[in-house]
Structure formats: C-alpha cells, structure tokens
Amino acid sequence: MSKQNLKPPRGTRDLYPEDQRFREWLFGHFREVAARFAFEEVDAPIVERASLFMRKAGEEIVDQLYHFELHGRHLALRPEMTPSIARMVMARAGGLRMPLRWFTVTQNWRYERMTRGRKREHYQWNMDIYGEPSVTAEAELIAAVTTLVDRVGLERDHVKIRVNSRSLLEASLRAGVLRDRPEVFEPLCVVIDKIEKIGADKVTDMLVDPAGAVQLDAASARDVVAMLEVKNLEDAVAAAPADSSAGSDLLRLWSLLSAYGIEDRVVFDASVVRGLAYYTGIVFEAFDTRGALRSICGGGRYDRLTETLGGPSIPAAGFGFGDVVIAELLADMNKLPELQHPVDDVVFAFDEAQRAAAIDVATRLRGAGHRVELVLGTPKLKRVITDADRDGVDTLWLVGPDEVERGVVKQRRLATGEESELPLDSFAVEPRG
RNA sequence: GUGGGCGUAGCUCAGUUGGUUAGAGCGCCGGAUUGUGAUUCCGGAGGUCGCGGGUUCGACCCCCGUCGUCCACCCCA
C-alpha cells in the first residue's frame, strides 16, 4: 500500500459530531421557519444535466461547474438549486395549485477559488414561490429571512437587507441611455454588481471601456453610476419612468414590510442588482451590518426563468441562504449555540452478570422514545457518572448485583443527585420524543 | 490566476543560528483501597515535524516542487 493523501479535497469539509450538531441545529431552524410560512420541502438530484446550468449563464459558470462526461452524457453537480426547482415546477405546471411555496436544504457545488465564506461545497436553504406576480411574494420571503435571523439568536441590528428593483433600473435605462441597446442591460448589471467592492470610479471606467461589454459614453456612464448611488426610496421612485410599475411595486413592498413590522430591517440600495442573470424585478440581499462578511443570503424575482428553459411563463421569486456565512457571523458575534450530545438516559451494569437486566432496562426506555446510552463495558461508576454529567444526561440507571438480587433498579437523577429504587420488571417509563 | 503568510501530538502553539532520545498547555487513557459527579496529585499513550525531491558528514530548520490553509488583489455568488 502506498501512502495516499487522506485530506478531503480542497474546499470541502469533514463534519465531526460537534460540526454536525451545529449543522443540524441550523437546518432545524431553516426547516422550522419554512414550516411556519407553510412552505413544503422538495429535493432533486445533486447531479443534473450540465445543460440545465449552462443554458443561460455563459462560460464563466461553465468553468465553475463540477462537470463530467459519462457514457456520452454531460452531467454536473448542481451549483445552485433554482434551475432544478424550475425544472420540477415546469414538469407539473398544469397540475400544481398556484401560488406554490417550496423550500429546499441542499448541498451545492462550485469549482472556484476560496475566500472567507466561500467554499467549493456548501449547503443552501432555498425558499421559492411560483405563480404569484405581486410583491406580496417578495415580502413573504424577506419576512422569512428576518425570522430566521431572529431565531438563530442574532440581534436585530446585526443583519439588514438591501433591496432594489432591477426593473426600476431597467425601465430608467431603456427610457434613456440604453434606448437603442436593451441587450446590454444584463452585462451592465454584472458590472455594477461590483460597485461595492471596486468603487464608483472603476465601475464608470468599465462602463465606458471600449473593449468592454457595455461601451457607454462618459456622460451616460456617470448618469448610470449616479442612479446607483441613490440610497433613498422616494428619490428612486421619483426618478422612475411614469410608464413603469417598478416604482409603485417598491412602495407597495415597503408598505407590506411595514405591516410585517420589519420596515426598519430593510434599506433601499440602488446598487444591489445581484450577479445572477435571471433576476427580473425586486432583488435583495442580507448582509452583516459591520460589513465584514459576504452576503448572508440573496434572492429576488425571476419571472422569465421557466420561459428561458423552454417552458410556460410562470412568475417566481425566491432566495438562497448559505450555511457558511451565517456560521461565521454567529461565531464573530459570539452567538454560536452550545450543543451537547443528546442523551436522555445512561444504563450501567456494574458487572457482566447484570448485562441482560441492563439491556432490558435500556430496551424499555428506548421503546418509550428515550435516547439511551447503554454502557458497553464495565468502567468504574465514577467514570460513568462524570461522563453522563458532561453529556447533560437526565437519568442514570444503575443495575448492580445488589439491585438485581433484590429485583430493583436504582435510578439517579444527575441534576439533583436524588436516587430512588424501582421494581426492575415493572417500573413506569415517562414517554418522550 | 498573481503576491504573501502559515503547515510540529486530537486541539492551540513553542522550539532548534543545521548536531545524539522533538516540548508545553488543554484534551485523551490509567491510578490515588472496597459501588457515586468537584478540585488536586501521580503516571501513561500519542508525532515518519503536510508530502516528495535536493544540498549536507548530519535537515523539523536551508533550497526546489507539490498538496492543504489563511490574507490581499482578481473574479464571482
């Protein structure tokens, strides 16, 4: 046997019990929030036809796909969940009661460079609404995000959500600088998505760049960048063309968010456009207010995706919420939960002669829904108690020679040290779970 | 992709200006008389110094490559 590298591949993670406990805790909150909003969970294969992801996104995404040819088929690990959901909706579009609310918690893969908060595999919570054209859908989605933020223990001012409308921007540009070239709207969004990181001057340069995809004149580029710097909803709405509903949609959204009581948790930001090509309307992203981390989640309206995939036109909105950035934020804020190995009862036979009796006790407890650790060897009692205490065990069942001879089992409550003896063959068990 | 930092015990790290048997704290295992949780004390296991080459009488240390990781830039959810 030659030596081999036993580390997990770059950008992937092993999850030890303490890691997995955290993940299950987080996923539990994802699922519970989704349930409270009456979303149903769905799933899809982690391997899809590569074309599902390449169709709209272009070559850069292709480079980030984990993809391979097998028996002449071009397959890929899913980099995001949205196309799979769209595919599933399209397949049953005629029979689904709209609007439908679906959520997923899935592992996604992207072959790309790693930085803080970005790995090659990560889990993502997606919530999607299909068949609802009004911003009541976006409002519900944003409310779900804030509910999750609260549930995991973050403070109200740790996270805020930036909101913009791509259709507002698009309407303004089509009435102006893009009047004759509507097709450059998407590349323009890709450029201005960077404004937070590279600054207004560089974005202006890129918009003007004669070798670039947009090629505006200098004055138009400055106008566009000036539009993005609007941080005030009223100013943005006032600047919107009269023939667009984008302004009134934004106002409606704000009034809905106010009804949810979360108006203070969203900020209008005209520079938020999101990087994905399929967004068409409201877009939003959650960020930590210190500005130290990447976006915590992102989403928006994507009314044309099903059409783009060759299906019927179905309005849709949704978001993806990753497990990596939220974990880093919780760590930074010192809000990581302390999670124990969940054990309710420990059953201990002092000696192998009491093994059968101990197994019987454990089996009856397990039958009543208890999580029971049966001590497998015969360590010292002191050790058993110390370990059980550290795991937060509720009850220790002591099955010794003395007890068995008298037909009893000794029950010790770890929290109080209180002990009592119960009949071995007929003790009552409180149901749990 | 470019530049830089790092990689020594399960974890966090020291260390040797190149020189016999590589260290600490925490953790883990065992013990401090007979069946009860703390503290303390004692003892123990565990490392081919990321991996592979090279230089050297001799490499954990120097050089090259490689893998992993972090940061910045780049790119992008």
Question: What confidence tier does A4 reach under pLDDT thresholds 50, 70, 90?
Answer: low
Please state at what angle helix A246-260 crosses helix A136-151, rounded to 10 degrees.
Answer: 40
Query: Taking the C1' atom of B38, which residue's CA lies nearest?
Result: A386
- With 0-12 / 13-18 / 19 or more C-beta atoms within 10 angstroms meaning exposed / middle / buried, residue A306 is buried
pLDDT at residue A209 greater than cutoff 50: yes
Distance (Å, rounded) from C-alpha A427 to C-alpha A141?
Answer: 50
Q: What ipTM is given for this predicted complex?
A: 0.84
Distance (Å, rounded) from C-alpha A266 to C-alpha A275?
Answer: 20
> Cα–Cα–Cα angle for A82, A13, A274, nearest 5°?
30
Q: One-letter amino acid identity for A162?
A: R
Q: Which residues pair with A286 in a beta bridge?
A: A161, A297
Closest nucleotide over all strands to A402 (CA to C1'): B35
Owner of token pair 């399209």: A90
Higher per-residue confidence, A18 vs A3: A18
Both tokens of A239, joined, read 């600047």
User: Which chain B nucleotides are covered by protein, judged by CB under 7 A?
Assistant: 1, 30-31, 35-38, 48, 51-52, 67-77
In angstroms, what CA-CA distances link A198 with A180, A211, A212, A214, A236? 28, 19, 16, 17, 23
Q: What is the pLDDT of residues A244-288, one digit of tens each?
A: 888 899 999 999 999 999 999 999 988 887 777 788 899 999 998
Chain-centroid distance, C-alpha A364: 39
- The integer distance in angstroms from the CA atom of A124 to the C1' atom of B17 is 52
pLDDT at residue A300 greater than cutoff 80: yes
Residue A405's pLDDT is what?
93
Does residue A317 contact residue A128 with C-beta atoms inside 8 Å?
yes
- The integer distance in angstroms from the CA atom of A3 to the C1' atom of B20 is 29
Phi, psi of A237 (to 5 degrees): -65, -40
Percent of chain A topping pLDDT 90 = 52
- Average pLDDT (A75-104) is 94
Q: How many CA atoms does the CB half-sphere of A63 hold within 13 Å?
A: 5
Closest nucleotide over all strands to A294 (CA to C1'): B77
Distance (Å, rounded) from C-alpha A165 to C-alpha A251?
Answer: 11
Residue A231's pLDDT is what?
78
- Of A258, A410, A414, nearest to A344 (Cα)? A414
Residue A432's pLDDT is what?
85
Residue A152's pLDDT is what?
95
- CA dihedral sign, ordered A13, A320, A116, A339: negative
What single DSSP character describes residue A210? T
Residue A55's pLDDT is what?
52
Question: What confidence tier does A8 reach under pLDDT thresholds 50, 70, 90?
Answer: confident
Question: What confidence tier does A190 reach under pLDDT thresholds 50, 70, 90?
Answer: low
- The integer distance in angstroms from the CA atom of A168 to the C1' atom of B63 is 60
Q: What is the pLDDT of residues A32-89, one digit of tens each?
A: 999 999 999 999 999 999 888 875 433 355 567 888 888 999 899 999 999 999 999 9
- Average pLDDT (A185-191) is 72
Closest nucleotide over all strands to A404 (CA to C1'): B35
- The integer distance in angstroms from the CA atom of A7 to the C1' atom of B69 is 12
- The integer distance in angstroms from the CA atom of A233 to the C1' atom of B25 is 56
Closest nucleotide over all strands to A295 (CA to C1'): B77
Phi, psi of A304 (to 5 degrees): -105, 5
Chain-centroid distance, C-alpha A28: 11
Q: What is the mean pLDDT of chain A?
A: 87
Closest nucleotide over all strands to A80 (CA to C1'): B77
Higher per-residue confidence, A63 vs A307: A307
- Pairing label, strands A345-349, A395-399: parallel
Distance (Å, rounded) from C-alpha A359 to C-alpha A98?
Answer: 52
Does residue A279 contact residue A303 with C-beta atoms inside 8 Å?
no
- Average pLDDT (A361-386) is 94
- Of A339, A343, A366, A351, nearest to A405 (Cα)? A351
Question: What is the four-CA torsion angle of A91, A93, A95, A101, rounded to 10 degrees?
Answer: 110
What single DSSP character describes residue A416? T
Higher per-residue confidence, A232 vs A248: A248
- The integer distance in angstroms from the CA atom of A37 to the C1' atom of B26 is 45
Higher per-residue confidence, A9 vs A345: A345
- Of A284, A321, A322, nearest to A301 (Cα)? A284
Closest nucleotide over all strands to A12 (CA to C1'): B68
Q: Which residue ranges form the domains of chain A, and what is each CATH number?
A: 17-44+81-332 (3.30.930.10), 345-423 (3.40.50.800)
- Give the ranges where A95-165 is alpha helix by DSSP (H): 136-151
